[in-house]
Amino acid sequence: MSAETEQQYRADLKFNGVEEPRYIFYGIPLDEEGLHFMSLVKKYLNKKTYTYRRRWRGKGSYRHSCPPDQADSFCVYIDKK
């Protein structure tokens, strides 16, 4: 995602009443390294305070999820409980 696109995305979130974007990690490749990263998030995230969600992403768009078998990467949302 380009800096300009990310800036517009954050402006859209703020306009819609979302102060802090939960969309923390994006563009994580769906390969051994990315899956290892996800296992570390699961292991070390403070689960008493936060939850996480993983959304699959396909080519061309980071704004919409896709089925896991069509994904080439994923993003991770971090939410306060």
13: buried, middle or exposed (CB in 10 Å: 19+, 13-18, 0-12)? middle
Rg of the chain (C-alpha set): 13
pLDDT of residue 35: 93
pLDDT of residue 27: 86
Dihedral over alpha carbons 12, 16, 17, 18 (to 10 degrees): -50
pLDDT at 59: 75
**Residues 37, 26: Cα–Cα separation, whole Å:** 12
**pTM attached to this predicted model:** 0.65
Positions of the chain with pLDDT under 50: none
pLDDT of residue 42: 93
